[in-house]
Each structure stands twice: as structure tokens, then as C-alpha cells.
Structure 1
Amino acid sequence: MDNFTAALSQVTDPFVLGVILVAAIFGLFVGAIPGLSATMAVALLVPVTFFMDPVPAIAMMVTSTAMAITSGDVPGCLLRIPGTPSSAAYTDEAYNMTRKGMADQALGASIVFSFVGGLFGTLVLITCAPMLANFALNFSSYEFFWLVVLGLSCAIVITPASQLKGFVSLLIGLLLACVGMNNPAAYPRFTFGNEDLMNGVTLLPMMVGMFAIAEVLRYAVNSQDRLGEVKAQIGNIFTGMWTLTKKYPASILRGSVLGTIVGALPGAGADIAAWMSYGMSKKFSKEPEKFGTGHVEGIVEAGASNNSALAGAWIPALVFGIPGDSITAIVVGVLYMKNLTPGPMIFTNNAVEMYSIFLVFIIANILMLPLGYALVKIARNVLRVPRSLLMPIILLFSIVGTFSINNSPFDVIIMMMMGLLAYVMEENEFPIAPAVLGVVLGGMLEENFISSMIKADGDFSMFFSRPIAAILGVVAILIWTIPIIKIFFGKSRPPSGGNEDPVTKPGITT
């Protein structure tokens, strides 16, 4: 209790509370701008932490991260342009709800269940950090390979129409992930002698292009204002949230648990957690046919997942100094800089600071509700802007935001090309979400496969040699083979109604 009281005194200091509020507003701003990410928000704050004590420095990073992940849902819902990569999993779902006049419910579900998932992850961080960290350390390259395969399987599950087209889109994403030298052999592939392609196709320019530029092209080609399809009025976003809580308790719990576990796995993070949760939501839903048309269930589960993953990523970072994602990789450096050495003894040697971090997590998630509400009230004015004015503004911000990532004009070219590719794909009913997922997971898939094959000396049976790897492998194989088996037996089953020769039926030829 002495440690908790001291931590409470530190966190409630007016300066620390002011830092939390400023960091929250900054995180909301960065997350709501397409092309900027929560990782970038944290990276920009690192120089500021040089002049701060440990508690306000860590509080700034925790708060800005939570807010950026949540606010990334707002442009995705209103404009079909995800603010952060973790919002891309359910952007189409949220935007379709907006077009049906249900933007308030979509935004409310994103904010409220991000809050719920964040609190769940924080509770697990407080109570089960050492246990989950030990579990995460059991994951070798074999387990990570199968985990990535399961994540890629979600690309097929979440495809609203043809699963074959979803598979083709996924292959396009995996092909784009092969570009450059970011492979185990560091060999330049598909660069065509262009040095700018050595670093591959960067995710953020690709994502901005496929969502934002494709939407601009679609408006330019169709030459019609689609604003009439969207109701500009957004009411109280918290109305009906309790009803959704009672209707989807299993989805909320499943998303929160999966997000925390995936977040605790080094290198996974909120992006993968959101994709996997959205895929699981459709797989276990009683109404899977509604997914992709503007159905809130996927947003409920994936929204809870991506914020619970944030707290989960801190578990291996604090207990072993192993970052769970790119954000905690930056945070670990700041911890060392502030003499908070990560490891099992950090909870003993720096108990007050650890309690302070836990309290900051709780405060940041609570602030998500009022500040998220205020953000929506401001952002809803976007729907009142005519598309003839809005689209050039989106194009301008997309170009500026993409250029600012690496100060590279080539990223702008990549963005434009990806926008054109996405436009052609969608005009032919190929979904773009699997392509984005392919780029997100393609590098991890190859790296873990090559590492595993080297360790196994080419023996593929070693992928099933460990208990967790065997379970994940069997599940992944079943997900891919069961639909094929159903199709095969469905075609081989004789037609109902007797033993008629199909050749003799009228209208049927051999």
C-alpha cells in the first residue's frame, strides 16, 4: 500500500496530469491523420522525454499510444482512410455503416470497446505479467511461422464475396512484400536496378494509396458526389453501447483475450491482433453474411483487440526487456535511459514507478471516452464538406503526409501507384484488405520460415516438433483444407432426385 500511495501521489501531480492531457491530445491528432502512426507519435516524443522524470516520460508515451490507436478509427469510418495500420482491418465495415447512416454507432463501438479492451489488457498486465511473459518466451520461429499463417488465413475469412479473389489479393500483397532487400539473404529482389526499391514497398505509403488515393480516383472517374449516400448528422455515439455489450459479450471477451496474448508475443502487435480478431469474429458469428456490408460485430471485437494488445506488448518489455511491438521497442530504450532496467527485478527495485505506469494506463483509457467524444464532434463536420472540395484536400494531405514519413518523393510515387492498383482491383471486385495484410505479414512469414528451415536442417516435420507449434500448425492446416474437402465432396456427391444421366437431361450438354 505504501508503494501504491506513493505512485498515486506521483501520477496525480498537476504536472504529470498536464503531461497526460497534452499527450492525449497529441495522440488523437497524430492517429487521426492518415499516414501517421502510433509508432511515429511515440518516436516524435522521445526527444521531449530527455528533460523529464521517469513517470511523466512514460506517461506521455502510454497516453499518446492509446489515443493514436483509437483515433485512427475516425477517418476510417468517415472517409474510408484508416488513420493507423491497426484500423485497416475494419475500415470497410465502419465506412459501410457510415454510408447507411450508422456512423455514430460505428464510432461509438470503436471508442467504447477500445476502452474496454484497454482496461482488460491493463488488468492482465498488472496481475499476470510474469506468467504471460514466460508463455511468450516459449514462442520460437516455428510457433511464429504458424501464427503468421493463421493471420494470413484471416484474409480469406474476412473476404465478403469470392474467397478466390481474396486469395489472389493476398498473393498480390505477399508479392509486394518480396520487393527489396528486407529478406533473410539481404538479396535485392524485384528492384529492377532502382535504389529506391531497396527498402521495399513501405506499408504506410501503400496503405494511404490503397485507401485514400483509390477513393479520390473513384470519385474523379464517377464524376458524381456520393455525399448523398451519407447522413451528415452524428448523434450521441454512446447511445446503444450497453445494448451491444449485452449482445456481444463473447466477442468482447474473445477480442480482449486474443489482443492481449498476441500483443505479448514479441514482434506481433496491435496490427496483427486486429486482423486476427476481425477474422475470428466473422468465423464465429451467427450472422457472417452481414460482414462487409456494415455490421458492427467485427468492429466490437477488433476494436477491443487492438487496444488490449497495447498493454499486452508491455508485458515482455517490462519483464524481459523484449519489445512486443515497434512502440515498446522505443519505450525499452527510454526505460534504460531513465535507469528503469527491464527485467524480473524491475517490480521489486522500481515498484513505485511500476504502479505509476499501471495507473497511467488506467487514466489513459478513461480519458479515451471524453476525448474520443470530443474528437468525433469535431470530425463529423467532415461529412458536411462537399466531395468536390474534400477530395482535393484528401489528396493534398495524403501527398504531404506520405512525403513526411521518410522525406522521400519516391514514397509519393509508391502511394500513387498503389492507389491506381487498388482502384483497378476494387473495380473488378477484388478486396484490398488481404493485400494490405499480405504486406504486413509477408516479411514475418519468410523470415520465420527460413529461420525454422535452417534450424531444422530442411526437415519440415520439425515445424510440428513443439507442442504449441503442433497445435497452431494443425489448426492452420485444417482452416485451409476443410473448405477444399467440402468443395471436393460437394462436387463428387451425386445429384439428388434419382440416378438420371445428366447428359440426357434437357438443356445440359456434355
Structure 2
Amino acid sequence: MTTAVLLQAFWLVFDPYVLLVIACSAMFGLFVGCIPGLSATMATALLVPITFFMPPVPAIAAIVTATAMAIFSGDIPGALLRIPGTPASAAYTDEAYQMTLKGQAEVALGAGLVFSAIGGLFGTLVMVLFSPALAEIALKFSSFEYFWLVILGLAGAVFIGNASVLKACITLLLGLLIACIGLENPAGLPRFTFGMNELMSGVELIPMMVGMFAVSELLRYITNTDPSPIIATEKIGNIFSGMWDLLKKYRWPLVRGSALGTVIGIQPGSGADMASWLSYAMSKKFSKEPEKFGTGHVEGIVESGAANNSSLAGAWIPAIVFGIPGDSITAIAIGVLYLKNMNPGPMIFVNNPENIYAIFLVFILANIIMVPLGWLTVRLATKILRVPRNILMPIILIFCIVGSFSINNSVWGVTLILFFGLVSFLLEENGFPVAPAILGVVLGTMMEENFVTSMIKSDGDPLVFFTRPIAMWLAVGTFVILLWPVATWAWDKLRSPKIAA
């Protein structure tokens, strides 16, 4: 990278028109992320028609900025109402809401904002310094490695929340069962559709998630006979207070979450949702205070929030270097790159170096301005939440219905949110966590496809899952996570007679 190219990229980004596009895209992303049922992918898709009329740099800047903002702002309704704005926020929604109920909403929101920005900057730094090398490593991942990566994520499901392992496993299996519905399976045969055409394409994640978190919360509000006020609507203090202490205390979880998010983002087809779930599970597993998770503990928010935004930058690495989308957002962005004659591939650093480094600068700028704009969004959101709950809740339900309807312009999405809202309400009333069910749906299809593909490649030999170097280490990590509780229990049993003696 020469100084001339860097200066040219700098002037491309700090052009008044590009800065205006970034500001407008940031506000748009913050708005979309706050609305349950809408997602960062939808924000990207809605921006594509507008980018047709833009030069290359502002077009990509609009997508990068909007998605980064949407991923963070999904934390706001999650913390204040227990309704995640985006799927990437669902992993730690319960954690953030429990903090709000304890009067620590500013800590939950501040941690989500600050550490999302830091994670995004970490991922951007990795993208700038190591894009070609990391993308080449990512290409070494085949279906065998992806299978173990998914199993590793599913193994962490039992550590999500504060419920019993048995109940977490039951809801995880429920999520895996839901993931089996439809035609999207290796055999291409309809499963569990009951003759309904709407189920041929499976169960959409976003209506299911909105139903399980938003509608169930509405049902809980309706059936609640406790006249005490909801803490979430009380005044929220300075969200930046105590962030420096959190940064010093949780610096290693921050690094671990940022690194894991970047690595997950690089893997094609993974994305921020998977990074968030895996990071939260890992955070609880390696925490010095795992018993506090699920009761309102900020550590999981720190690590998982950092993983969210770092995965966004990670997903751009294979997209830029090889034209392979890391997630659904970069799949759309690649189309825009081709449209603007910035064809992805190794030669893009030769043919369009100034535009590529301009994209890198946009990532840095987007994560920096996220802090002040996110603060303003939180202030606005808390003012809205002072509206009486009997007025606010029906409005939220309307937003949920509109968001779910807009996915396929079908009433079926509305039916799904109502159904899963009722199911989630009944599960939680009986002590079953719903988060593992969401994780099962996110990873279930990926697990089946990679397993079947691997078995076809190996001619039915399962030993290949353990003979490839990367797959072997992922398998070892998976078995360590699965067997660690059993080993700990056995060790305590062996030590207890000695201690008693």
C-alpha cells in the first residue's frame, strides 16, 4: 500500500457527499435494527436499489455503515423489552433484560455499544492486515470442518442461559426438529410439511425469533397480575459510566470474542448470528463466574457483542479476496461490487486499490461514529419507552406483525410469530429456555447438509471426520466441551473422600 493510494482513499471517503451517505445510512441502520422482525440483511437489501445511482465508494459505504449500525441497535429493544431487534442480538437478550430488571440497563446498553464498536474495529484491523492470508486459510475449510464447527456451536447450547442442562437439550432438539421442516434438505424431499405449501421452504428464522421473544413477552405482560412498574421504563443513566473498568476487567473476553467473531465471519455462510451464539456459549464456559450467567451478568454481553460486529468485517475478507460471501449481507454486497466494476478477487488490490482501502476506512469510520449515534438512539429509545405499557405493547405488536409480513409479503409470517409466541410462552412458564431452540434452527440445516455432503465425499467412511488436521482439532474441542462437565463431576467425586478424610 503506497502513500499515494492511501491519500486517494482518504479523499474518496471524506468527500462531503460520501460523509452524507454514511450519516444517512447510519440513521437508517439504527432505525431498522431497533424494529423487531427486521434485520441487517433486510437493511442491506433495501439499500441496493438506491446504490444503483451512486458511485462505487458511497454505494459500498452505505451498506457497510447500515449493517454495522443495525447489528448494534438490535441490542436496544432486547435490553429494554426482551425483544431482540435482529437475530444477532438474540443470544444475550435474556442477559441484557435481566440486567435491566436489576436497574442496570445503562450498563447493558453501554457494554453493547462500546464493545460492539471495539469488536468492529478489531475485525477491520484483521481485514486490513491479513485479508489474503486469512481468506486462503478459510478456503481449506470443507464440509468436514464445517460439520465440527456447527457441532461445536450446538454443544455450547447447554451453557446458554441458567436453566438445567436437560431442559436446554430438550429445547435444542426442538429447534433441530424445526430445522428439518421443508424441502431444503440434501434429499430434496418435503419433510413435516403436513401438506402445507407454506412449509415447503421451511420455517423462517425471523418470524420464529420475533414470536419466541416478542409475542411471548406480550403474552406475559397480558397475564401478569403484578401491578408493580416495569423497571425498563425508568430513567436510564449515563451508558458510558464504568465502561473503562469493564474494559480492564474483561479485556481477555473482549479479545476472545473479537477474534472468534472474525474467524466465524470468515467462514462462508456463518455470519453474525452464529458468531454471537458461539461467543456467548464460550464466554460462559471459560468465565470465572459461570453461575452468574442468565441472571444479568455483563461478561456475556461484552464478549458476544464484540463478536457480532467483528464478524461483519471478517465476512468481507473472503468476499473481497475470492468473491465468496461470508454471510447473506456480503452476498448482496458482492452483487453491488460487480455492478460497480469492482470485481472481487485477488486482482482487486491491483485494479482498484484506492476503492478497497476506501472501504477499509469506511469500516473504521462506521465503528467510530457508532458510539455517538448509538448513544443518541438509546436516549431516544428510552424516551419512547416512557409511554404507558398498555399503549406501547400494542404498537410493538403492530411493528412485529409488519416486520414479519414484510419478509415474504405473506400472512404466513404473521401466523408463525403468533404460533411460536404461544409455544415460547408455555415453554418459559415451565422453565424451558427458548434460546437453544433458536440456535438449533440457525445451525440445524447447516449441520445436516455438511454431514451428508461429507459422507458422500468419503464414500460413507466416518473416520475422515477425524483424519483431516483442522477437522481433528475441531473434533477434540467439541468433545472437550461435551465431556468437561462429566470430567469435573468425576474429579470432584474423587477428591471429596480425601477432603472428608
Query: TM-score, normalised to structure 2's length?
Result: 0.97
Q: Which residue of structure 2 lines up, in the alignment, with residue 454 of structure 1?
A: 456
Q: 1:369 aligns with which of 368, 371, 387?
A: 371
Are residues 1:182 and 2:187 paired?
A: no
Q: Which moved more, 1:22-31 or 1:374-383?
A: 374-383
Structure 1 segment 351-370 matched on structure 2, within 5 A? 351-370=353-372
Amino acid at match of 1:132: L
Structure 1 residue 225 displacement after superposition = 4.6
Are residues 1:41 and 2:43 paired?
A: yes
Are residues 1:482 and 2:484 paired?
A: yes
CA offsets per residue over residues 40-67 of structure 1, 9 Å max, x none?
Answer: 0000111111111101100110000100
Q: 1:434 aligns with which of 418, 425, 436?
A: 436
Q: Which residue of structure 2 lines up, in the alignment, with residue 394 of structure 1?
A: 396
Structure 1 residue 478 displacement after superposition = 2.5
Q: Is the 8 A contact 1:98 1:231 kept in 2?
A: no
* Alignment CA distance shift 1:374-1:498 (3 Å): closer
Q: Which residue of structure 2 lines up, in the alignment, with residue 169 of structure 1?
A: 171
CA offsets per residue over residues 149-175 of structure 1, 9 Å max, x none?
Answer: 011112111231201100101000000
Are residues 1:342 and 2:344 paired?
A: yes
Are residues 1:129 and 2:131 paired?
A: yes
Are residues 1:378 and 2:413 paired?
A: no
* Alignment CA distance shift 1:460-1:234 (3 Å): same
Amino acid at match of 1:412: V
Q: 2:58 aligns with which of 42, 56, 59?
A: 56
CA offsets per residue over residues 337-358 of structure 1, 9 Å max, x none?
Answer: 1111111111111111011101
CA distance in 1, matches of 2:177, 2:299: 31
Amino acid at match of 2:280: Y
CA distance in 2, matches of 1:442, 1:327: 20
Q: Which residue of structure 2 lines up, in the alignment, with residue 193 of structure 1?
A: 195
Amino acid at match of 2:300: G
Structure 1 segment 128-277 matched on structure 2, within 5 A? 128-225=130-227, 227-230=229-232, 232-277=234-279
CA offsets per residue over residues 399-440 of structure 1, 9 Å max, x none?
Answer: 121111111111111111100110011001000000000000
Structure 1 residue 387 displacement after superposition = 2.0
Q: Which residue of structure 1 lines up, in the alignment, with residue 471 of structure 2?
A: 469
Q: Is the 8 A contact 2:234 2:386 kept in 1?
A: yes
SS in 1 for 2:463: helix
Structure 1 residue 485 displacement after superposition = 5.0
Q: Which residues of structure 2 form unaligned runs of 5+?
A: none
Q: Percent identity?
A: 63
Amino acid at match of 2:245: T
Q: Which residue of structure 1 lines up, in the alignment, with residue 420 of structure 2?
A: 418
CA RMSD of aligned residues (A): 1.7
Amino acid at match of 1:483: P
* Alignment CA distance shift 1:297-1:490 (3 Å): closer
CA distance in 2, matches of 1:63, 1:489: 50
Q: Is the 8 A contact 2:156 2:481 kept in 1?
A: no
* Alignment CA distance shift 1:487-1:45 (3 Å): same
Structure 1 residue 392 displacement after superposition = 1.6
SS in 2 for 1:189: coil
Q: 1:321 aligns with which of 293, 308, 323?
A: 323
SS in 1 for 2:229: helix
CA distance in 2, matches of 1:498, 1:492: 11
SS in 1 for 2:373: helix
Amino acid at match of 1:242: W
* Alignment CA distance shift 1:362-1:155 (3 Å): same
Query: TM-score, normalised to structure 1's length?
Result: 0.95
Structure 1 residue 186 displacement after superposition = 1.2
Are residues 1:75 and 2:77 paired?
A: yes
Amino acid at match of 1:334: V
Q: Which residue of structure 2 lines up, in the alignment, with residue 4 of structure 1?
A: 6
Q: Which residue of structure 2 lines up, in the alignment, with residue 104 of structure 1?
A: 106
Amino acid at match of 2:370: M
Structure 1 residue 386 displacement after superposition = 2.3
Amino acid at match of 2:60: I
Are residues 1:19 and 2:21 paired?
A: yes
SS in 2 for 1:449: helix
Amino acid at match of 1:57: A
Aligned pairs, how many? 499
Q: Which residue of structure 2 lines up, in the alignment, with residue 312 of structure 1?
A: 314
Q: Is the 8 A contact 1:100 1:231 kept in 2?
A: no
Q: Is the 8 A contact 2:233 2:382 kept in 1?
A: no
SS in 1 for 2:385: helix
Structure 1 residue 285 displacement after superposition = 1.0
CA distance in 2, matches of 1:406, 1:180: 16
SS in 2 for 1:384: coil
Q: Is the 8 A contact 1:46 1:334 kept in 2?
A: yes
Q: Which has the larger radius of gyration?
A: 1
CA offsets per residue over residues 5-54 of structure 1, 9 Å max, x none?
Answer: 11111111111110010000000001110000000000011111111110
CA distance in 1, matches of 2:478, 2:500: 38
Q: Which residue of structure 2 lines up, in the alignment, with residue 114 of structure 1?
A: 116
SS in 2 for 1:93: helix
Q: Is the 8 A contact 1:39 1:65 kept in 2?
A: yes
Amino acid at match of 1:219: Y
SS in 2 for 1:227: coil
Amino acid at match of 1:171: L
CA distance in 1, matches of 2:296, 2:271: 26
Are residues 1:301 and 2:319 paired?
A: no
Structure 1 residue 278 displacement after superposition = 0.7
* Alignment CA distance shift 1:229-1:14 (3 Å): closer
Structure 1 residue 493 displacement after superposition = 9.7
CA distance in 1, matches of 2:339, 2:391: 47
* Alignment CA distance shift 1:29-1:457 (3 Å): same
Q: Is the 8 A contact 1:270 1:307 kept in 2?
A: yes
* Alignment CA distance shift 1:483-1:25 (3 Å): same
Structure 1 residue 228 displacement after superposition = 3.8
Amino acid at match of 1:363: L
